[in-house]
Amino acid sequence: MTKQEKDGILSTVLNIPTPLKEVKLAPKNKLEKLLIYLRIKKPVYEMLYITGLKMSTNFRLTAIANSLQSESDAEGEQSKLMDLMHGNIYQMAGYIATAIHNKNVETPRYLIQTIADEFTTEELKLASQEVYRRLDVQTFFGSMELIRNLSLM
């Protein structure tokens, strides 16, 4: 087991926030966008973190993961690839944004836009791995099995 894996397990158990990246947040509304454009207000920079995911967030994340497009009707390999990328970019940004937001309300559009604008493909992959690790799928299915065993008694 590598040091990074050990640190990951420890951060999950102790619920230590995992820093992802410092980003320039997209404007929250048109007024803020105008104020930034006119240089009346400075852009907001913020470090994004992932913490322990709540069950309601897990539910929202699984819904997003199930809605990812995996097939394309486009003709040709390149067209299929581009169609899949086009169809899933904002879904994947929404997946990461939902995990960062970690509340049982709609994820803010500005956060999804920030992730789509600021994250590279490699950063998106690493953030997705961190979200998956925080989902803790093994513990969930272990809990399901325990409850099933209790119901059989």
Considering the domain boundaries, does residue 2 fall inside one? no
Structure confidence by residue, pLDDT tens digits, 58-85:
888 888 888 888 787 778 888 888 888 8
- Is this structure's pTM higher than 0.85? no
Number of domains comprising the chain:
1
Considering the domain boundaries, does residue 107 fall inside one? yes
Exposed, middle or buried, 3 (CB in 10 Å: 0-12/13-18/19+)? exposed
For residue 143, which of 132, 153, 151 has the smallest C-alpha distance?
151
Considering the domain boundaries, does residue 104 fall inside one? yes
Give the position of tokens 């990461």: 96
The encoded tokens of residue 63 equal: 């819904």
Considering the domain boundaries, does residue 118 fall inside one? yes
Q: Which domain holds residue 87?
A: 7-152
Helix (H, G, I), strand (E, B) or coil at 24: strand
